[in-house]
Amino acid sequence: MINMSMIIFLISLFLMMIASIISKKTFMDREKNSPFECGFDPKNSARLPFSLQFFLIAVIFLIFDVEIALLLPLIMIMKMTNIMLWMTISFFFLFILLIGLYHEWNQGALNWNK
Domain presence at residue 36: no
Confirm if 57 and 108 have CB atoms less than 8 A apart: no
Residue 25 is assigned to a structural domain of this protein: no
Longest dimension (CA), the chain: 72
Residues above pLDDT 90, as percent of the chain: 16
Q: What's the whole-number average pLDDT of the chain? A: 80
Segment 34-50 shows an average pLDDT of 63
What is the domain count for the chain?
Answer: 1
Identify whether 41 is part of a domain.
no
Domain assignment present for residue 62? The answer is yes
In a domain, 32, yes or no: no
Q: Are 46 and 35 in contact (CB under 8 A)?
A: yes
Q: Is residue 102 part of a domain?
A: yes
Q: Which strand (E) or helix (H) includes residue 85?
A: helix 83-107
pLDDT of residue 2: 82
Q: Domain for residue 6, yes or no?
A: no
Domain assignment present for 4: no
pLDDT at 114 over 60: no
Q: Angle at the Cα of 59 (from 58 to 65), degrees rounded to 5?
A: 90
Confidence band, pLDDT 50/70/90 cuts, at residue 8: very high
Give pLDDT, residue 30: 64
Range of 59's domain? 52-107
Long-range CB pairs of 61-67, under 8 A, 24+ apart, other chains included: 63/100, 64/97, 64/101, 67/97
Q: CA 70, CA 66: separation in Å to the nearest integer?
A: 6
Tens-place pLDDT, residues 53-81: 778 778 888 888 888 888 888 888 888 88
